[in-house]
Amino acid sequence: MLNVDNLIIDYSTGFLGKKSRVLKGVNFSVNDGEIFGFIGPNGAGKTTTFKSILGFITQVSGSISIFGKSNSDVELKSKIGYLPESPYFYDYLTGNELLQYMAKLHGVEQPILSKRIEDLLHKVGMSHAKDVQLRKYSKGMLQRIGIAQALVNDPDFLILDEPMSGLDPRGRREIHELILEQKKRGKTILLSSHILSDIESLCDRVGVIINGVVVKTGILADLFREIKTDYEMLLNCDKQTLLNNIDSNTVSIDERAGFLILRFDESDKSHLLKLLLDLNAEIVSMYPLRKSLEGLFIEESEKTNNY
Amino acid sequence: MNRILVIAQNTFKEAVRDRILYSLILFAILMIISSLVFSTISAEQYNKIVKDIGLTAISLFGIMISIFLGMSLVHKEIEKRTVFNIFSKPVRRFEFITGKYLGLSFTLFVITFAMGLILFLIVLYVELQHGRFIEYYYGGHYFLEFFSAIYFEFLEFIVVIGIALIFSSFTTPVLAVLMTFLMFAAGRFSSDIKLLGENTNNLLVKIITEFIYRVIPNLEKFDLRSEAVYGGKITFNLIFYTTAYSLIYVFILLILSITIFEKREFK
C-alpha cells in the first residue's frame, strides 16, 4: 500500500545553504490493513519521512508510492489522514470550526459534515469543548482535536506522527482504542513514536529508523529477541565476600537501603546464581530489566555508526 | 474553486477575529472624528478638511492593514506549521495562495467601505449644516467623486496586498514589510521617479528610474482625493481602465507568488 524506496533527503542549513543528509536511503513498506510503527530516537528522521510521504519536502532521490500511485498526485490526499507532530492549529477557531474547515477542504458536504464532526468530537472526547477557541486548549486537547481532524475525511490511510504525545494515561488508552477501531474497519495506519509502550501493543510490524536509515523492520517481539536481556537482583549478603568472588567487570554492584543491587546480563545468570547459592546469600528479588527502546536504539546506533 | 473559497472564508474569519484589526479600525474612526474637531477653523474649509483628512485616514489605515496582514498571510501559516494541516488535504498550492489573497482582499473591501460609510455620514452631516457655503465655494457636493475615491483606494489596497503576498511567500515578515513599503513608496512617487530619470545625465540612474517606473505599479493613479473635494471629471472610462490596471497587476503578482510558493518546502 505504501512503498518508500531508497528515499534520500537533504536539508540545507545556514546562510550558505550547506547541505546535510537527513534521510540516507530509507526503505520500508506498509501493507494494506496493518498498523505499522515507525520508531526511532529523536532526530532519527521519522517526521522527515512522513513529511516527504505527504509531499511537503522534495527528495534528492528515491520514490514513494501510495495505493500504487506516486505521492505527487494531490488527489491521493483525499484518502489520507495526517496528524502532524505537536499539532498547531488556528487558535482563533473553535474545535468545531477547525473540523468544519478541514472537512470542507476535503470536499465533505452537508449533511454528512455535521454528523461526522459530531461523531468525531464524541470519539476523541472533545464534545464539551467544541465551542471553545483553540487558544484555550491544553496540549492534550490539541492532540485529540488533531486526531479528529485527521479522521474528518474517513481516510483509508492514516499517518499519525507521535499520536500519544501530550496525553495522560486515560487519553493514551482512548487513542489506543480509537486506532485499533480504525484497523478493525480495514484502515491502514502508519504511526511514529519514541516510546515503546505506545507501540508494542498496537503495531503489527515496526520499522526502526536510526540516523536516517531504517535499520530493521519486522515484528517487534522478534526485534527484541535479538537484544541481550539485563537482570537486576536485590541481595542480602556481605559485600566484601561478594567482591572477592565475582568479576566486577561483568557484574555491577551498588548498595541501596541496606541491600546490595547486582546488575548482570543473560550470559552471567546461571554462573552467578550458582555462586550465590554456594555463598548462602539471601536473594530478595530478581527480575529481568525492561528491554528498552533506548537499548535497541543504542545497540543499533553502535552497529550503524558506519552509515 | 470551492477550496479557494473555503480558504478565503477562513482568512477573512482570521482577520476579523484578529484584535490588531479592531484597534486599527477604532483608530481610523478616531481620526475621522478628530477631523471634525479640526474643521472648526472656518465654515467654508469645513467640507474640505473633513473629506481630505477622512480619505487620507482611510488610505493610511488601509495601506497599513494591507501591508501588515499581507506580509503575515503566508509566512504565519508556515511559521506556525498550519500549512501541514492544509497541504495534507487535497489542496493545490495555487488554491491556497489564491484563497489567502481573496480572503484578505475581501477583508479590505469590508473595512474600506465600512470606514467610507462612516466618513460619508460625517460628510453628509457637514453638508446639511453648511450646504450653502459648500455650493458656493466648491460648486457642488461631489458624492459620486467621493465614492469613486474610496473605490480607487480599495483598488490600491488590493495591489499592495499582492505585493506583500509575494514577499510573504519567501522572506521574513520584517523584510516583507520593508520591501512592500519600499515598493509602495516607489509606486506613490511614480511620476517623481520618472521626472528624476528625465532630468539626470547619469545613465545608471536613468536606467534604474526607467525600470522602476515601468515595473512598479503607478499608485498615483488611485488617488482621487482632490476630485472628491473640488470636483473633477470621473468618467466611466477612468473607472474601467483604473479597475483593469489594478486587476492586471493583481493577476501578475498572484502568478509570481504562486510560482515562488510552488517551490517552497515545508520542513
Contact B87 A55 (CB under 8 A): yes
Handedness of CA B6, B7, B13, B17 (dihedral sign): positive
Please name the residues between 146 and 185 in chain A that touch chain B, using a CB distance below 8 Å.
149, 153, 159
Which of A206-215, B97-106, B222-231 has the highest average model confidence (pLDDT)?
B97-106
Which tops the pLDDT comparison, A67 or A224?
A67
The verdict on A11 touching B (C-beta cutoff 8 Å) is: yes
pLDDT for position A291: 60
Contact A57 B7 (CB under 8 A): no
Query: B interface mutation test: which of A56, A77, A86, A105 has the most B CBs within 10 A?
Result: A105
Here the cell at position A144 is: 485529540
Across A137-158, average pLDDT: 92
Distance CA A101, CA A113 (A): 10
pLDDT digits (tens, 9 = 90+) for A244-258: 888 777 788 888 888
| Domain A230-290, CATH | 3.30.70
The answer to whether the bond into A111 is cis (omega within 30° of 0) is: yes
- Nearest-CA distance from B170 to chain A in Å? 15
The verdict on B89 touching A (C-beta cutoff 8 Å) is: yes
Contact B90 A75 (CB under 8 A): yes
Which tops the pLDDT comparison, A14 or A86?
A86
Contact A105 B13 (CB under 8 A): no
Please report the DSSP string for A236-289 in residue order: ES-HHHHHHHS-TTTSEEEEETTEEEEEEEHHHHHHHHHHHHHTT-EEEEEEEP
Q: Which CATH class is domain A28-59+70-225?
A: alpha beta
Handedness of CA B124, B128, B134, B139 (dihedral sign): positive
Q: In this model, does residue A101 exceed pLDDT 90?
A: yes
Q: Give the three-state DSSP class for A60.
A: coil
CB-nearest to A89 from B82, B89, B91 is: B82
The verdict on B90 touching A (C-beta cutoff 8 Å) is: yes
pLDDT for position A307: 46
Domain boundaries defined on chain A: 28-59+70-225, 230-290
Q: Which residues pair with A1 in a beta bridge?
A: none
Torsion of CA B74, B76, B78, B80, to 10 degrees: -160
Contact criterion met (CB below 8 Å) for B138 and B49: no
Confirm whether A28-59+70-225 and A230-290 share one CATH topology.
no
pLDDT for position B195: 85
Question: In angstroms, what CA-CA distances link A271 with A226, A241, A250, A278, B140?
Answer: 22, 16, 12, 11, 111
Q: What is the mean pLDDT of chain B?
A: 85
Which tops the pLDDT comparison, B225 or B251?
B251
pLDDT digits (tens, 9 = 90+) for A30-53: 999 999 999 888 888 899 999 999
Cβ neighbours of A54 in B, within 8 Å: 84, 87-88
pLDDT digits (tens, 9 = 90+) for B175-232: 888 989 998 988 888 888 888 888 888 888 888 888 888 888 888 888 888 888 777 7
ipTM, two decimals, is 0.84
pLDDT for position A183: 93
Q: Which helix (H) or strand (E) holds B50?
A: helix B43-79
